[in-house]
Each structure stands twice: as structure tokens, then as C-alpha cells.
Chain A
Amino acid sequence: MRTRIGGVPILNTGTLSPLTPEYRRNPDFFKGACQLACILTILLLAFIFGEILLKAWPAIHQFGFGFITGTQWSPNRGVFGVLPVLIGTVESSFLALLVALPLGLSIALFISEDFLPNSLRQFIRFVVELLAAIPSVVYGLWGVFVVIPLVQKYGTILSDHFGFLPLFAGPAYGNSLLTASLVLALMVLPTITAISRSSLVVVPYSLREGSYALGATRWETILGVILPTASPGIVASAILAFGRAMGETMAVAMLIGNSQRLSWSLLSPSNTLSALLANQFSEADGIQISALMYAAALLVALTLVVNIAGAMVLRQTQRATSVLR
């Protein structure tokens, strides 16, 4: 009986014969290759983080926790404190979220309901998701030529009338926290819209039906049932967008003004960890490189924590609503 064609074993030969050695080895090879790829990825992550920590070690050793609480960053004097930069990082991302979340959620709601024909909704969805495809540096350029003049113009009006509030204390520089945040908001909009939309569309139709059958209007149904059901996914979208905003580098470096001075005003220059790294690396040496590596480690830790939190909330959502499906 032929048991193989061109070296490939035929398995359905009537009697159950033991598997040939090649057959057994081949899946093992495949499995091994995949395993190797996985292990390499994990090792790579560990290697990157290890390398950062290693290079940062002199600064960690020298400045310790004072690096995080210090408010002065002056390489000439060998003083490195990143508190203003940390605040700038969190503040710019938070401001971006404040603008992008209502906008992104509205878009997500609009394209998950049947207000428009489906083809048109898919088109809007596509356009919003296209925003994610624009390179960061293009956002930066657009910010320089469009948003900076706008912020200068209207920021001056703001500081003239509301200058007594620390938030709008003048003068209005074009390169400012506000400018960077506005552009960041646009950049994280696709993240919020995409994840919110997908958590809205998986709300089971039976819930919508149940709400209508109780005499609810569409808006009562959206506010009372659909949004609460999707809310963990919406929270996750906000967290992931926050993480993206914190790590965003090029556009922010071009727009934020790169000032390590602590300031309350949204209209004055500020800095973020990623922008600090991008702007100072080329001309740094000695302990400054180490200090920048320390800042990089902080940035990685921050984004890691935020992203893990986002992923966890997202998983919790899927588990919580799985009963309904």
C-alpha cells in the first residue's frame, strides 16, 4: 500500500499507522518558530527597558527621587528635575482628552445610530480613522502654520479679559500648552471614536428593543441604556487615548515651546517628557544623557501603566456584557 506521495505521508490509508517522524517533527518546527518569535518580542521589550534603566542608572543614583520632584532643569549647572515636564505631560494629555472625548464620543454615537444611511456612516468612520494615518510631523507643521496663529490671536483676547485667572495669564505665546493640546486632541480623536464606536455597536439589540418597548424615546434609550452599557468601553477609549497623547512626540515637540518653567497658564510654553527627549538628545552628553534616560524610563513606565489600565478596563467590559449575548 502506498503510504506517501512525494515524501508526504498519506494519513487516510485505512489502518491507523503511527505518525511518521517527519509529520511529527514538522508541526514541532512550526510551533517552535512561533514560540521563538513570541519569546524574542518579550525579550526585546525587556532589553529595551533594561537598556534604558542601565543608561539611566548614573542619574538615578545621583538624583534619586529628587529628579521627579525637582523643578529646575539646567544642564549647564548639572541640575535636573522633571516635575514641570511631568506636569506638562499629564496636563497636555488631559486637556487633549477634555476636548477629544466629547467630540469623539459624539461622532461615535452618531455613526453607531441609524441617523444616516449606512454607506454614509461608514464614510464618516473611514474619514475619522484616516486622521490616525497622518504622520505626526504633518500635524506639527499644520499646528505651526494654523493653530499657533489662532492661539496667538484668541489667546491674547483671553489673557486680556481673563488674565486674572492663572490659567489664562498672559502673554499669549503661540507655542504653548494649549496649542499642543489642541493638536493632540485631533490626533487622539480616532482612538476615542473607533473604540467607543465598537463598544456602542456591540450593545445587544435586545436592550434597545426592551427600552423602546417600555415607552422610551431614542434619546432616553441612548442615555439610559446604550451609553451605560457601553461605558466601560468608552472609559477604556479615553484611557488609551490618554496613553497615546502622553507618548506623542514630534507634533508636541514642534508646538509646545519646550520650556521647563513651572507655569499655570495654558498660554505659556511648557514641555512634555517625549518632547524633552526629542529636543535635547542631539546635544546632550555625560550626565545629561543619563538624566534624559531617566526621563525616558519615567515616560515608558507612565504609558505602560496607562495602557495596561486601558486594556484591563476593556477586558472587564467584554466580560461584564457577555451575559447579555
Chain B
Amino acid sequence: MSNDYTSSEAHPIQVSHETARPYELSDVVPPSETNFIKVDDFRFFYGKKEVLHGINLEIPSRRVTSFIGPSGCGKSTLLRNFNRMNELIPGVRHEGDITIHGTSIFDPSVEVIALRRRIGMVFQKSNPFPMSIYGNIVYPLRIAGQGDRSMLDETVERCLRSAALWDEVKDRLHESALGLSGGQMQRLCIARAIASRPEILLMDEPCSALDPIATAKVEELIIELKRDFTIIIVTHNMHQASRVSELTAFFYLGNLVEFDETRKIFTNPSKLQTEEYITGRFG
């Protein structure tokens, strides 16, 4: 894969460089598009090693979908393909396809920059930039060339409110983000991830470094955010998957074992492997 992030070719995915364009998400994506993200016989390789063995998956929009499975099962790898973050690693390649809203994300005319502006990502370890709270949230807007002060102010408030952080930080927006608590930092990263109004939010074990209270807040937030976003969350915490998600995909050794309604996965899984993992007999 090319590592050239500076190419400026046209791209058919309906994302413009004005990331903060004033549209309502519902205009673009119907609330319940069942095959919003479509993974089609997707294989992924680190060098010669195949880590995903032909995944087929259809993720609906405006839902929370969780990826569960033991470590090394490929769930994070798949997640990181949706915004092509894996391309930062040298020597990777893929087969098959992933489409979002009907467009292949690997199409040569899709600009990876535009793709990533459309897909927010929250990481396992919160990664606020060493700048102010305000600066963190407007960062994605500034790199998109948005300089209008009132627009930026408005975005900061909207995102912080969405991330349930506004009341805690509204009086110190211009203080360093590194002074926040761990849970606040993670919510700030969520606020930053939604600043450019993405349609999809990828969360890679967003609570694994948080205490139970901060975890509960982030979980509430996830349930709140699914009204506006299609959320995919990788988690090791089975209770979390059952609390926040409507759909659950169980991965094992690079295969998708089962994908169904969360309720069904946790009460009446159809595969023995799923049942054994859920009940804690392995993994």
C-alpha cells in the first residue's frame, strides 16, 4: 500500500474537505441501512502471516456493534482496516474488500485522508495532544482548513456536550488537556473523534485503561452516541459488550465465528465455541 497521504486526487466517497459541512447525518445515511459497512471475503496479512481468514460481515448503520474474542483473534486488526490505519505498518497487505455505503474504501480514487475524516477512532490508551482542551478538539478542523472562530467555538461546545464533558471542563477550555483525569482524557478523545462529524466511530478497547466509574460514563456515552453514529467497539469485557451493543461479532483465530443480535449471542449462541467463550470456558 502506498504511504503517500498527501495525494490530492478526486475521491468518489461523498466526503468533501470541508469536514464540518453543515449537514444532518440522516440526510446522507438512512437510519437503518443494514449493510452500511460490508466486509467481503476479507483477508489480511502481516508479511506472509495471514491473520484474517476471509471475513464476511454486514454492519448496519446507527447501531453499536461489538467485536469480541480472545487476544490475537484479529478483531482489532479488522477494526483498524475500516479507516486503513493498518497501512501505517510496513509489509501488510489484504485481499477481498470492505465497502462503506457501497463504495470500496480501497478504491484507488478514495483518499485515505478523506476516509479517516469520515471515520472517527478512539484508542485503547487515550492520546490527547499536549495542547489545550480546546486545541485538541479543533485540531481535526484546523487541519481541514477550518479557521472560523465562531464555528470552532460552536464545535468545541457541541462535541464536549456530546462527550458529556462540557460541564466538567467549560471553565478551563484553554488549559492543557494533560491535566485531565484518565476518564476525562478518554472522553476528550471521543469528543475530538466526533469533531469533524464522522459517520462511523471505531473504538478499540476504549475502557480498558479506565476505572469502573469512568467506564460507566463512557458506556453511557456510547449508548447516547449511537443515535448519530455507527459505532464499532472492540472489547475484552463481555459485560460491556452485552451492556452497550445491539450486535455482537465473535472472532476466534482470525475467523468470524458468529455474528448476531447481542441478546442472542449472550443467551443462546448457535456455535459451541461462542458459548464456551462467553461462559468463560476458554479465552
Contact = CB atoms under 8 A, between A and B. Distances in A.
A215 B117 contact: yes
Given A210-B123, A213-B121, A218 B5 contact: yes
B131 interface: yes
A212 B116 contact: yes
Number of contact residues on B: which range applies?
20 to 34
A301 to B, nearest CB: 34
B169 interface: no
Nearest to B126: A206
A324 B130 contact: yes
A224 B139 contact: yes
B129 interface: yes
B129 A225 contact: yes
A219 interface: yes
Contacts of B225: none
A48 interface: no
A102 interface: no
B127 interface: yes
Contacts of B10: none
Nearest to B125: A206
A129 B19 CA distance: 44
A218 B129 CA distance: 15
Given A207-B127, A214-B196, A224 B142 contact: yes
B113 A215 contact: yes
Interface in B173-224: 178, 189, 192-193, 196
B140 to A, nearest CB: 4
B6 A218 contact: yes
A70 B125 CA distance: 60
A228 B123 contact: no
Given A206-B127, A228-B130, A228-B131, A214 B6 contact: no
A220 interface: yes
Interface string A256-292: 0000000000000000000000000000000000000
A204 B129 CA distance: 10
A216 B131 CA distance: 16
B189 A320 contact: no
Given A204-B127, A210-B129, A217 B6 contact: yes
A215 B143 contact: yes
Contacts of B115: 215
Contacts of A42: none
A215 B88 contact: no
B113 A209 contact: no
A214 B123 contact: no
Nearest to A220: B143
B85 interface: yes
Q: Could you say which of B114, B116, B127, B189 has the most chain A C-beta atoms within 10 Å of its C-beta?
A: B127
Contacts of A216: 113, 139-140, 143
Interface residues of A, number: 23
A214 B116 contact: yes
A321 interface: yes
A323 interface: yes
B144 interface: yes
Contacts of B131: 228
B130 A214 contact: no
Interface string B140-179: 1011100000000000000000000000000000000010
B178 A214 contact: no
A207 B192 CA distance: 13
Given A214-B193, A216-B143, A323-B178, A209 B130 contact: no
Interface in B95-147: 113-117, 120-121, 123, 125, 127, 129-131, 139-140, 142-144
A242 B121 CA distance: 42
Contacts of B248: none
B144 A215 contact: yes
B83 interface: yes
Nearest to A204: B127
B127 A324 contact: yes
Q: Could you say which of B142, B143, B193, B196 has the most chain A C-beta atoms within 10 Å of its C-beta?
A: B143
A213 B6 CA distance: 14
A212 B143 contact: no
A212 B192 CA distance: 13
30 contacts: A204-B127, A206-B127, A207-B127, A207-B129, A209-B123, A210-B129, A210-B189, A211-B139, A212-B116, A213-B83, A213-B85, A213-B116, A213-B120, A214-B116, A214-B120, A214-B140, A214-B143, A215-B19, A215-B113, A215-B115, A215-B140, A217-B6, A219-B6, A224-B129, A228-B131, A229-B129, A229-B130, A323-B178, A324-B130, A324-B178
Interface of B: 5-6, 19, 83, 85, 88, 113-117, 120-121, 123, 125, 127, 129-131, 139-140, 142-144, 178, 189, 192-193, 196
Given A217-B5, A321-B130, 8 more contacts: A209-B85, A214-B117, A215-B114, A216-B143, A219-B6, A224-B139, A225-B139, A228-B130
The 5 closest A-B pairs by CB, nearest first: A215-B117, A206-B127, A210-B127, A215-B116, A213-B121
